[in-house]
Chain A
Amino acid sequence: MPNANFKVWRGDAKGGAFKDYSTDVSEGMVVLDAIHKIQADSANDLACRWNCKAGKCGSCSAEINGKPKLMCMTRMADLPLDRPITVEPMKTFPLIKDLVTDVSWNYAVKKTIKGFAPRKPDAPDGTWRMQQDDIERPQEFRKCIECFLCQDVCHVLRDHHLHDKFIGPRFLIYTAQLEMNPLDTGDRVPDLKHEHGIGFCNITKCCTKVCPEEITITDNAIIPLKERVVDRMYDPLTKLLRVLKG
């Protein structure tokens, strides 16, 4: 059985260092299996989050060889084994311990976005009718598993730390699925500009690249939202009308 060497970040908010471990590699093994093996055999107190182990819950986000990934969907066979594999926590969020970060900011941000507000049911049976074609786009955004890898890689958050001014790609697609839900009557466009900092995104598409659900975050969600903001806030005619109306 081949062997793999790891450098796993061990530490907490006060500091830490990479620690060396090694494990056997069996067929089909993913990085999360290796971390669990290390945890069971030699480091019972190695902290990591995980739940479904099938890419559906978005708990085991980490940076593997420097790239933001889900540990459960990263196969050992796809990594070079001739040098140690590094496994680190996400950098955009404060560290709690080892591979576990404090992602509570994301939960707080979501609360600031106006919730779903459907129009009154208008079908005879007291519900609504919607065509499949009209919901494909928001359904794409609702595939999001909230792994926060897009938030992790976004330079506005990661390098510029604008957490208090910018909601990040995850919550732009969250806003987009609400705005594009055929039943919704809410208006989140002013908030996008003034509160949620959509202007900070300069569409480098890093978020789209790391999304494990392969959601086209930038092209399908962020750019259309930016267009809505521009149409509303910067269109000269609308602006004039707004001034006239007071």
Chain B
Amino acid sequence: MPEFETLEHDVLVIGAGGAGLRAAIEAAAAGVRVGLVCKSLLGKAHTVMAEGGIAAALANVDERDSWKVHFADTMRGGQYVNNWRMAELHAKEAPDRVRELEAWGALFDRTKDGKILQRNFGGHRYPRLAHVGDRTGLELIRTLQDHGIHQGIDVHMEWTVVSLLKDGERIAGVFAYSRERGQFKVFRAKAVILATGGIGRAYKITSNSWEGTGDGHTLAYDAGAELIDMEFVQFHPTGMVWPPSVRGILVTEGVRGEGGVLRNKDGKRFMFDDIPENYRSQTADNEEEGWRYTQGDKNARRPPELLTRDHVARCINREVKAGRGSPHGGVFLDISWIKEKLPNAQEHIKKKLPSMYHQFKKLADLDITKEPMEIGPTTHYVMGGVRVDADSQMSRVPGLFAAGECAAGINGANRLGGNSLSDLLVFGRRAGEYAAKFAQSAKNPTLDQQQLESAARAALAPFDRPTDGGGPFQIQYELQEMMQDLVGIVRREDELVRAVEGVQRLQKRAAAVGVSGNREYNPGWHTALDLHNLLTVSEAIGRAAIERKESRGGHFRDDFPDKDPQYATFNTVLARAPDGSMKLRREPLIPMPPELKQVIEEMK
């Protein structure tokens, strides 16, 4: 009987991005033994790529802002299929979470009177995003990291979790391998918090790093938790498109917040052509008004470039398909034009968008203070994820929690820019608090030797298989091509059905894939193990997308291009049936209390 080294924690956090770090800090503050397991080195998680800012109704720049406006904006952006309780908690608690970062050493850009500065972003009625230039994610993660290392958290870097362990119905810990040596370890824990981020690597064009392979989604699903809203994938409107090697890298929405405009090849600001009904009263109807909004004129309405991401991405897609795109299949995003308006535009742009300036200069030989950028949509974020209780973030598996991108509910059908960083902080903290409480009243779980052995067997199986049938990378590329083509921004029933069938074929191939080399830092092996996760979330996205025969938020159906009120009443829920198949059901939305309904009415 193989023996595995076993470590003991009360609360074990998987993932060290914003949500994972914040959860670990909170759990440690409750006095329990906390472990933090992460696939990469500490401080490298995808949170560093967040650029524009953290949405919180601090009302530092516009005193009309409040949690109510933020709540209403979030619900409107999510097309009202959000979990209203999460949206409420998020809007109420985000300001405190931002102030707390300052108390831990973050240095946000300042207003003239020395407060935290806030900037405009898509779908937010008032300037709401606390930021540091365009590197806010780095500031957030570094602040949490530098605070966290003094809180007595055991950090296990470059460990990858391959399965969750259970003791009957409840969670018992995790089984993981080290990237460095390839050895296995068991982390026994009374509570486990998943904070593993997104699924972007299921697509060819994505802003996500290699880590975004849907690990938490799949671990939870395999362990008996439910996934909801998986049809809602966010395609960020502005990713780089040229040169090919950088395709998909994020270009912050902050560019538009600072006055950047979108044009087609004819120089037309096409975003004025299609303004959705529910945003018409808040949107500028001429270019001059839009500009005044970006410069802080409180009587002006926002330019249509700052409509929600789902809408902007579809408009770009429409221009490209109609033959009005840029030379490399995108459209133009121009911030350099503000030199017509501002005397020191060049310096201003470099100051407000330093990493965008750097990124285009270095990777595309392009000076954004002088020329327009070429941009196009890129897979950025998944609104769907583990179904959790709004207050505690616990899934239906006792002791299993989820927070951040891998959990779902707050964003509904579409996430507003800036709401992710605040989500990480608000719900990371809540998950940490409730997981610690759970652990304090829970007995030590018993480990099941059989589960450990089968996890180890499954993890090592690729080494015993022939390597001639195309390697793990090829399967991953095929999946990414297929998801991009068939389950992208614009979807159709027949294509979605083909995609689900395609995923099933790839699942068979992935189950037979072999790898070469040994267990020490072997990317081929790691990719082979990630395939199960990527394929599981891809199947989930496909199945949920087939079920929703309407267009809403990030989910757009060419064959059902309108919103359908009967689909506004439920979330799609996926769970693993006893026979291992993926089962879908509709879960009615929880009725919203009258006082929140009234908030939404007031803000209309």
Contact = CB atoms under 8 A, between A and B. Distances in A.
A135 B110 contact: yes
Contacts of A96: 180, 520-521
A138 interface: yes
B40 interface: yes
A129 B527 CA distance: 48
Interface in A97-126: 97-98, 100, 102-104, 107, 110-111, 115-116, 118, 121
Nearest to A33: B245
A197 interface: no
Contact of B244 (A27, A102, A103, A111): A27
Contacts of B477: 40
A184 B106 CA distance: 11
Interface in A40-65: 40, 44-59
B185 to A, nearest CB: 17
Residue of A33, A48, A116 ringed by the most chain B CB atoms within 10 A: A116
A52 B46 contact: yes
Contact of A118 (B103, B150, B522): B103
Interface stretch (A139-147, A199-207, A224-232): A139-147
Q: Looking at chain A's contact residues, is the secondary structure mostly helix, strand, loop, or mixed?
A: loop
Contacts, number: 170
A82 B569 CA distance: 64
B590 interface: no
Given A44-B473, A58-B44, A110-B149, A127 B517 contact: no
A234 interface: no
A85 to B, nearest CB: 16
Given A100-B521, A115-B150, A30 B114 contact: no
Interface in B83-115: 99, 102-105, 107, 109-110, 113-115
Contacts of B227: none
B48 A44 contact: no
A52 B49 contact: yes
B436 to A, nearest CB: 22
A131 interface: yes
Contacts of A184: 105
Nearest to B515: A44
B132 A59 contact: no
Contacts of A47: 520-523
Interface stretch (B134-142, B281-289, B421-429, B538-546): B134-142
Given A29-B243, A142-B139, A51 B46 contact: yes
A242 interface: no
Contact of B107 (A39, A40, A127, A139): A139
Given A44-B515, A45-B518, A28 B146 contact: no
Contact of B521 (A51, A98, A135): A98
A116 B143 CA distance: 10
Interface residues of A, number: 58
A106 B243 CA distance: 35
B18 to A, nearest CB: 14
B362 interface: yes
Given A57-B48, A129-B113, A12 B102 contact: no
Contacts of A59: 40-41, 44
Contact of A54 (B107, B180, B244, B250): B250
A67 interface: no
B171 interface: no
Contacts of B44: 51-52, 57-59
Given A51-B44, A142-B107, A28 B246 contact: yes
A47 B46 CA distance: 20
A46 B518 CA distance: 11
B362 A130 contact: no
A39 B523 contact: yes
A115 B210 CA distance: 32
B75 to A, nearest CB: 28
Interface string A1-34: 0000000000010000000000000111110010
A49 B471 CA distance: 20
A57 B209 contact: yes
Contacts of A181: 105, 107
B211 interface: yes
Given A49-B41, A56-B355, A27 B243 contact: yes
8 contacts: A44-B472, A48-B523, A49-B40, A52-B48, A57-B49, A75-B362, A100-B521, A183-B102
Interface of A: 12, 26-30, 33, 39-40, 44-59, 73, 75, 96-98, 100, 102-104, 107, 110-111, 115-116, 118, 121, 127-132, 135, 138-139, 142-143, 145-146, 178, 181, 183-184
Given A45-B525, A51-B46, A56-B355, 16 more contacts: A12-B520, A27-B243, A30-B245, A44-B516, A45-B516, A45-B522, A45-B523, A50-B209, A53-B209, A56-B135, A57-B48, A110-B146, A116-B146, A130-B114, A142-B142, A178-B105
The 3 closest A-B pairs by CB, nearest first: A28-B243, A44-B524, A45-B517
